[in-house]
Structure 1
Amino acid sequence: MTVEQIDGVELRAVPGTDPAVVALTTAQQAELAAMYGEDQPLIALHPDISFTLLLLDGTPVGCVGLQPVAPGLGEIKRMYVDPSARGWGLSRVLLDAVESHARATGLTRLRLETGPQQHAALALYTNHGYLPTPPYPPFEHEPASRCFAKIL
């Protein structure tokens, strides 16, 4: 699904300090805490992370971050769609956008971490060609971590 296929969708490049991104990522972390418990580690974001904000009819409803890791390698961070906007394919729009951005910046591989109770996320990533990988730092000792990677 592309931006053009959903009326009212706009993608915007923004910094991680954008108030809409802060609100969405805060909501995401609260949702994860409710799902997995409060003892989940909060991983700090790299200062070079870039975000794509998804607006629906002018209202911010989703975001995804792209964090550089090493030459050619990036990590998808804080991908989130507000519950009120789920079921429309917006997560696919965000994933396509972050992959396009990664390619444009010279990245050849993306990785990500999600959890076993996030069934929609697991399906999204596997349907987009992401393959399971061993947990990478700092997730290697987290039983609720599922890591994936994709060659772009």
Structure 2
Amino acid sequence: MRIAIEDPDQPEIRAMLAAGEANSAALYPAESNHHLPLDALRAPGVLFHVARDAAGRALGTGAVVLKGDWAEVKRMWTDPAARGGGVAGAVLAALEAVARARGVRVLRLETGARSDAALALYRRAGFVEIGPFEGYAPDPLSVFFEKRIA
């Protein structure tokens, strides 16, 4: 598997982002979904990563949004056919590494309270629950996490 920073405006990646949004829409009401749109994923300070297999097929995505000494993890998604193969953990590790290299000391994220696999991934990776942070309101369907990386 190869993980690299890529432009999210590619047909295969747009389809993956849409699949993630559809999954969230099936689990949560619109006001509990906090996806960054494509244009925001292409903004300066956003490092969008894609995991690809040896044949070049996209397996998963994730981004870090740099905010000074902290960053937010966004758009974590693994193709359902690739789940269970360590893709999400590898993408998360790549996001952490690039954030650390850019001077980030804390990673934060929001995920859904019904997203059991995501909750388990973040807890395994050392994230701890916190309250809502910058721009988020309390929501019983959201879980907020933080991890100190420096």
Query: 1:29 aligns to what?
Result: 21
- Among 110, 114, 127, which residue is 2:111 paired with? 114
**What CA RMSD, in Å, does the superposition of the two structures yield over aligned residues?**
1.7
Query: 1:61 aligns to what?
Result: 59
Query: 2:145 aligns to what?
Result: 148
Matched, 1:20 2:12: yes
User: Compared with structure 1, are the counterparts of its residues 115 and 19 closer, same or farther at alpha carbon in structure 2 (3 Å cutoff)?
Assistant: same
TM-score by length of 1: 0.85
In structure 2, distance between residues paired with 1:43 and 1:91: 17
TM-score by length of 2: 0.86
Contact 1:33–1:40, Cα closer than 8 Å, also in 2: no
Identity %: 31
Give aligned pairs, total: 143
Q: What letter matches 1:132 in structure 2?
A: E
Deviations 1:5-34 (A, max 9, x none): xxxx11121123343332211110111001
In structure 2, distance between residues paired with 1:128 and 1:43: 22
Contact 2:21–2:35, Cα closer than 8 Å, also in 1: no
Instruction: For residue 26 of structure 1, give the secondary structure of its aligned residue in structure 2.
Output: helix
- Among 132, 136, 145, which residue is 1:135 paired with? 132
Query: 1:94 aligns to what?
Result: 91
In structure 2, distance between residues paired with 1:123 and 1:143: 18
Instruction: For residue 149 of structure 1, give the secondary structure of its aligned residue in structure 2.
Output: strand
Query: 2:2 aligns to what?
Result: 10
In structure 2, distance between residues paired with 1:127 and 1:51: 22
- Structure 1 unaligned runs (5+)? 1-8
User: Compared with structure 1, are the counterparts of its residues 151 and 39 closer, same or farther at alpha carbon in structure 2 (3 Å cutoff)?
Assistant: closer
